[in-house]
Chains A and B, each alone.
Chain A
Amino acid sequence: MKILDIIKDANVNLLRNKLRSFLTILAIFIGSFSIISTSAIQAGVNNFIDSQVDSYGGEGYLAIVAKDSFDALEGLQGAMGGNSGPMEYDPDKIQTGMSPITDEQIEKLKKVDGIDGDSIIEQKSLNITYVTSKETDKKYLFAAEALPPGNVKVDTVTGRGLDLKADEYQIVLEEKYVDALGYTNEEIVDKKIQLVVLDEYTHQEKIFDAKVVGVIAPGVVSMGQSYTNNKLADDIYEENTKYYPEEVKKNTYAVAANYDYEKYSVEEIKEKLKDIGLSAMSIEDIIGTIKSFFDVILTVFKIFGLIALLAAAIGIINTLFMSVQERTREIGLDKALGMSSAKVFLSFSIEAISLGFWGSVFGITVSMILGNIVNAAFHSEGGFLEAFPTFNLATYTISDMISVTILIMVIAFLSGTLPARRAAHKNPIDALRYE
């Protein structure tokens, strides 16, 4: 018997008892639906987090502070009733406040194997009083920082990226400000906006005309920040600290650097930095909490999906046992007319696999329809993802769809083996005598 005939007959047999097949497929559908939906949400969240990671400097990014500062932070958490309880004071260690990173440490950092020496930049917190433009009378609070090193890949909505080394003032503006400053996303590119810094002593306003070279989608990691090129950051920092003594002005509290993430694990690099008295945080450390929160929820849903599939598998076994029982004489006839046991086994297995296939296709289709509706609803006005236009909660990938379908077909096949074996082992004479 040809395999195509077997597949065709299997589906014809499923149609013979439409209600029973439909109910079995419905059970598989529930499992398939929850697994593919979970995968879609996971893919959506991961995509979003990845784009956020990129906007923050990419995979090799490290935020580095002096080890004392890091310990102080932990000490502070301890004092506030963290996990380890209050910490004891140790006069040999600076345990409160931020300690500066010394020039010596930076020199050592440059030489650490795996750290890209050229990528090291000081992270200066910029104090901008407000932002405004020629198109509006209003003034808005504003936060910006120099773009971290690494893949200069910001999640831009329009425009190009920053030219870090440019001699002019450049900025990639957070999308929420575009409308407020009286522009549309397209109009604002290459226009200049005014960043204003108030002199702490004279209360005079110092205006920086920054050219908008791109608009960035709001993100979780960037927290509503815009990004400047190095020249703009340096000059604003200079203005912020012009009354500080040289020694303090020179102090660096945090640097960002890139490491070779293909060759070294982040743990190896962290060990090396510890030796020179520095503590590092990778982008994963920073966003790890968000990710692990989603991971826990999604894992729970996946387990629910698998449990549903397990129940569906029992449904398949039951359906096929009934089918074998009903078709005992038919099986006997097939075998009397020369069908081999292997082909009988195959035909029932394919019936099981077909149930799995239709159940998963059904589940994926419904999930995709609902996913798109949900995505659209969340992005509409007032939806809870309105502020994150690049974040699609449900993202369906071809590989997810194929792997879910294959997983379910394998489960269906395994459930089908029991009834299929029974069918294959039927003696044609007994089967023909069966009433």
Chain B
Amino acid sequence: MSKRPLLSTRNLRKVYGKRDTRFEALKGIDLDIYEGESVAIIGKSGSGKSTLMHLLALLDKPTEGSIKLNGKNTSKLRAGKLNEIRNKEFGFVFQSFFMNSNDSVLNNVILPLKINGVGFRERRRRALEALRIVELDDKAKNKANDLSGGQKQRVCIARAIVNNPKVIFADEPTGNLDSATGERIEKLLFGLNKKKGITLIIVTHDQDLADKCDRQIHIADGKIFGENTREDVDLEDFDGDGDNDGMRDHNTTKHIDVEED
């Protein structure tokens, strides 16, 4: 890991509200993410993991600290440049899809290219290609609303890769899906990570999903309290009874308690 990180944060802090309502969501995060990695940011809800992803994705500005993209400090960039980076270099997959449900599948996938001002033919060609990768090119003309949950998420992945991004940010990408469908989505995302070398940053509270990433960053109470690489994951510690809730959260909570005590 001697090469320069793709995304690098130092002493990253984010504070919401003022005085009585003041809430410190991130309390100094130092994190390096390298190109081609798959990284899971794992923590329970309210831990600050989503805030961290928003900052990394340049959707929000930190209260303090720096985010460097390719070694360049992003706080100095103008709004237009940030928009351009999000449009051309990032892809987004959200838990609740965020699609224009009345629009066609194709138009949903086209959206980033349309915002970018790509011409009609070119954007259509590229969107169909992205849909082929997620094996939904036969549904291009369907209304987005008529798809199943898994299909919707695949459309969102197509939308995330249509601009050939360097990084895909996925916020609970399997959170709304049953396990079989979720697995298919996971396969797709990790396939893109391996085959195309797209850096994958997944925010989740699902340990199973996190375990499939190269690296897991554990977040609680706005701080990083642990980091595993896939090799040294101790499954016994985290892999409780195998369901998606309860135990795992409980385990995590225990860690926080230890940290805070």
Chain A residues with CB under 8 Å of chain B are 1-2, 5, 16, 329-330, 332-341, 343, 427-429, 432
Contacts and interface: CB of A to CB of B under 8 A. Distances in A.
B83 interface: yes
Interface string B46-63: 000000001001011000
Contacts of B59: 336, 428-429
Given A1-B114, A16-B102, A337 B54 contact: no
Nearest to A330: B100
A330 B116 CA distance: 16
Given A340-B80, A429-B54, A5 B116 contact: no
A337 B80 contact: no
10 contacts: A330-B100, A336-B59, A336-B86, A336-B92, A337-B115, A338-B86, A339-B83, A341-B79, A343-B115, A429-B59
B111 interface: yes
A337 B60 contact: no
B87 A333 contact: no
B88 A338 contact: yes
Contact of A338 (B54, B60, B87, B94): B87
* Chain B CB within 10 A, most for which of A334, A338, A340: A338
Contacts of A330: 100
Contacts of A335: 83
A427 B61 CA distance: 11
B242 interface: no
Interface string B92-126: 10100010101000000001101111000000000
Contacts of B117: 1-2, 5
B57 to A, nearest CB: 8
Nearest to A340: B83
A337 B86 contact: yes
B122 to A, nearest CB: 12
B84 interface: yes
A338 B114 contact: no
B interface bracket (residues with beta carbon within 8 Å of A): 20 to 34
B98 A333 contact: yes
B94 A337 contact: no
Going nearest first, the 5 A-B pairs with the smallest beta carbon separation are A338-B87, A338-B83, A338-B86, A339-B115, A333-B98
A178 to B, nearest CB: 65
Nearest to A339: B115
Nearest to A342: B80
Contacts of B98: 329, 332-333, 432
A336 B86 CA distance: 7
B114 A5 contact: yes
A403 to B, nearest CB: 33
Contacts of A334: 111, 115
Contacts of B94: 432
Contacts of B85: 338
Nearest to B100: A330
B100 A337 contact: no
A175 to B, nearest CB: 61
Contact of B112 (A329, A338, A427): A338
A427 B100 CA distance: 19
B111 A429 contact: no
Nearest to B84: A338
A337 B87 contact: yes
Chain A CB within 10 A, most for which of B88, B115, B117:
B115
Contacts of B54: 429
B141 to A, nearest CB: 16
A330 B111 CA distance: 11
Contacts of A341: 79
Nearest to A334: B115
A19 B111 CA distance: 27
Contacts of B112: 337-338
A427 B59 CA distance: 9
A109 B116 CA distance: 76
A337 B112 CA distance: 6
A432 to B, nearest CB: 6
Contacts of A343: 115
Nearest to A337: B112
A5 B112 CA distance: 13
Contacts of A432: 94, 98
Central interface residue in A2, A336, A432, by most chain B CB within 10 Å: A336
A205 B83 CA distance: 98
Nearest to B82: A338
A47 to B, nearest CB: 47
A298 B192 CA distance: 70
Nearest to B53: A429
A54 to B, nearest CB: 55
Contacts of A428: 59
A334 B112 CA distance: 8
A1 B115 contact: yes
Nearest to A2: B117
A338 B115 contact: yes
A428 B171 CA distance: 15
A336 B88 CA distance: 12
A333 B112 CA distance: 10
A336 B84 CA distance: 10
Nearest to B103: A12
A284 B9 CA distance: 81
Contacts of A16: 102
Contacts of B102: 16
Nearest to A432: B98
B60 to A, nearest CB: 6
A16 B80 CA distance: 30
A337 B79 contact: no
A283 B83 CA distance: 66
A338 B88 CA distance: 8
